[in-house]
Amino acid sequence: MLHISAVQEVTDELEQAVEYLLPQLSRSAPPLSRSDLEEIVSGEATTLLVARDDALSPEERAAITNGAGQQARPQPATEGSDNPDGPIVGMLTLVTFRLPTGVRSWVEDVVTDTNLRGRGTASALIKAAIDLASSAGARTVDLTSRPSREAANRLYVRVGFKLRETNVYRYSLEP
């Protein structure tokens, strides 16, 4: 069974899970330090949601590996996590902010363990984010996704997002 929760504090387990999941989302994203995670978790505008799965089989728990096929994050000797809700298998960040036109929310960095996709984890994370945004009074929830991420784009439509006719521009501040 999946359990979705907002992270309240940075733990070693969270740090290991993010270290494991982030490269599955973006190969170019630099690793996050513990202080980076603490800034995200304590931020007024950001909510880090994690998905835990307490129904993983031993084989599925063993599949939580990195691209080289080696265990990416240590699994405690108990049922894969020292949390009774199971190991962290996915995450997303919800950003909620006030603008002159109202409260808005934005979903970013949705990722689920590559080895466990297709189990409804991302859908559960998205639905939890929508509920939080609604509770915060947001008028809309936006997200972006590259066209090449076909499965993710189908998921977003399936849970009710509509493709907008808009242009997205980016100004890079990195050298």
Considering only the C-alpha atoms of the chain, give the largest distance between any 2 of them, rounded to a whole number of Å.
52
Q: What is the CATH number of the domain that holds 65?
A: 3.40.630.30
In a domain, 142, yes or no: yes
In a domain, 145, yes or no: yes
Task: Report the distance separating Cα 133 and Cα 161, nearest Å.
Answer: 14
Torsion over CA: 138, 161, 30, 41 (sign): positive
When pLDDT is cut at 50, 70 and 90, the band that residue 58 belongs to is confident
When pLDDT is cut at 50, 70 and 90, the band that residue 61 belongs to is confident
Q: What is the pLDDT of residue 82?
A: 62
CB 51 within 8 A of CB 88: yes
In a domain, 109, yes or no: yes
In a domain, 63, yes or no: yes
**Residue 74 structural domain:** 2-158
Question: What is the count of structural domains for the chain?
Answer: 1
In a domain, 106, yes or no: yes
In a domain, 167, yes or no: no
Phi, psi dihedrals of residue 2, rounded to the nearest 5°: -85, 140
In a domain, 171, yes or no: no
In a domain, 80, yes or no: yes
pLDDT in tens, 112-136: 999 899 999 999 999 999 999 999 9
